[in-house]
């Protein structure tokens, strides 16, 4: 990166804009495919991949014809309405560094959608790996997702999603018509992703019914410049969010995580430029550790549900710069344990309802004092 190019300008101009070269040829296309030899390619079914011809039917024929999965061709841009991902056991979509771009008409629900989601199957689908793929929504439609899935134990790896009019990536506890799934969709992984310039949330864990999308993992990537929150999660029970995750310039905020559990951990997340981490409530608050809050990127914790062991939340080893701080939103009997944190503001531990902080070996840099004890 040139020394005279500001970091933010480099990220805005050089990240997704350069994906066909930077990610397509390097990261996205680097790994060899594990699909069976002789697996069909879109070109075998008439796809052109020039970003101009309509490849919707050709890609769908290729996907439906394969038992093991579909591999796209490196460097190609496939213009499609949507791709329906078959719900077959062992089926894999390997983008191989290629791009799926949204066509300017058609369904406008999601660019890539699981078969069970699209056909309103009330049962969560089989595990589906999707990897090494770029999704370009071209700002088509009013609320078109990049990817909408309701599968369990799936792996979504090395993805770049941009310009969707709706959410970038949505894992849903309901089908397209709103039917709540009969079985949980636990153990999904989203790893190494870039989600930007989408009209909705960058990543949306949509589980209004509660208890379906539990025990999921999200780590590694940039989520920025989206119209909603960087991450909006209706269900965080057992969730592991981070490390190596950077959130900035999302209009709603950085991370909204509802329904904590004792297994929930937010770790190694960088909140920048006012990106709030808002945790409204839950039965068993988990742990926030080794996160960075920069530029009024506050941490808000509220946890009024539950009793006994559920009255404490834990913040460990975090750094707060500028006017970044913690805001205690809980009732007076709720305690936030703050351990080994560094603060760069005169008023780091704030309250709305008289809750209590227990500080252990925290340092207030501007005041040059140790914060140790009840606050």
> At the topology level of CATH, where does 19-259 sit?
Pectate Lyase C-like (2.160.20)
**pLDDT over 70 (residue 9):** no
Task: Give the mean model confidence (pLDDT) for residues 314-324.
Answer: 95
Instruction: Give, for 296, the enclosing helix (H) or strand (E).
Output: none
- Distance in angstroms (rounded) separating the CA atoms of residues 167 and 230: 10
Distances (CA, A) of 2 to 5, 29, 294: 5, 25, 24
Cβ proximity of 288 and 311 under 8 Å: no
- Per-residue pLDDT of 24-66, as tens digits, reads 333 444 344 566 666 788 999 999 999 999 999 999 999 999 8
Coil, strand or helix at 205: strand
- Per-residue confidence (pLDDT) for residue 107, from 0 to 100: 92
Instruction: State residue 14's pLDDT score.
Output: 37
Whether residue 361 is predicted with pLDDT greater than 80 in this model: the reply is yes
Model pLDDT, residue 227? 98
What is the pTM assigned to this prediction? 0.90
Domain ranges of the chain: 19-259, 262-375
The residue-averaged pLDDT of 238-254 equals 96
- What is the share, in percent, of the chain residues with pLDDT greater than 70? 88
Q: What's the chain's average pLDDT?
A: 88
Quote the pLDDT of residue 265: 93
Confidence of residue 309 (pLDDT cuts 50, 70, 90): low
- What is the per-residue pLDDT for 10? 34
Which tens digits make up the pLDDT trace of 219-229?
A: 999 999 999 99
Taking only the tens place, the pLDDT of each residue in 180-192 is 888 888 899 999 9
In this predicted model, which residue has the larger pLDDT, 208 or 160? 160
366 in Cβ contact with 344 (< 8 Å): yes
């Amino acid at each position: 990166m040139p020394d005279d190019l500001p970091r933010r300008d480099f990220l805005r101009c050089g990240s997704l804009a350069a994906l066909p070269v930077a990610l397509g040829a390097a990261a996205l296309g680097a790994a060899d495919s594990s699909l069976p030899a002789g697996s069909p390619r879109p070109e075998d079914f008439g796809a052109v991949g020039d970003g101009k011809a309509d490849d919707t039917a050709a890609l769908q024929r290729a996907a439906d014809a394969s038992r093991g999965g579909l591999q796209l061709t490196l460097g190609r841009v496939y213009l499609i309405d949507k791709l329906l991902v078959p719900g077959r056991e062992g089926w894999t979509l390997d983008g191989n560094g290629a791009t799926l771009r949204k066509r300017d008409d058609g369904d406008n629900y999601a660019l890539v959608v699981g078969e069970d989601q699209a056909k309103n199957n009330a049962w969560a689908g089989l595990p589906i790996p999707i990897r090494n793929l770029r999704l370009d929504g071209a700002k088509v439609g009013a609320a078109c997702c990049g990817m909408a899935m309701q599968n369990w134990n799936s792996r979504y790896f090395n993805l770049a999603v941009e310009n969707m009019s709706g959410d970038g990536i949505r894992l849903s506890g309901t089908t397209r018509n709103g039917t709540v799934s009969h079985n949980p969709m636990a153990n999904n992984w989203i790893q190494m992703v870039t989600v930007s310039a989408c009209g909705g949330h960058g990543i949306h864990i949509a589980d209004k019914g509660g208890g379906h999308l539990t025990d999921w993992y999200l780590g590694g990537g940039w989520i920025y410049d989206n119209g909603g929150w960087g991450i909006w999660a209706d269900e965080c029970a057992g969730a592991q969010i981070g490390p190596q995750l950077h959130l900035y310039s999302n209009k709603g905020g950085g991370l909204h995580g509802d329904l904590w559990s004792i297994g929930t951990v937010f770790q190694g997340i960088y909140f920048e430029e006012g990106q709030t981490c808002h945790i409204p409530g839950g039965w068993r608050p988990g742990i926030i550790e080794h996160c960075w809050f920069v530029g009024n990127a506050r941490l808000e914790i509220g946890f009024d549900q539950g009793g006994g062991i559920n009255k404490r939340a834990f913040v460990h080893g975090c750094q707060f710069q500028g006017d970044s701080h913690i805001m205690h939103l809980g009732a007076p009997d709720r305690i936030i344990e703050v351990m080994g944190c560094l603060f760069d503001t005169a008023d780091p531990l704030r309250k709305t309802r008289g809750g209590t902080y227990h500080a252990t070996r925290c340092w207030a840099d501007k005041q040059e004092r140790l914060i140790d004890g009840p606050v």
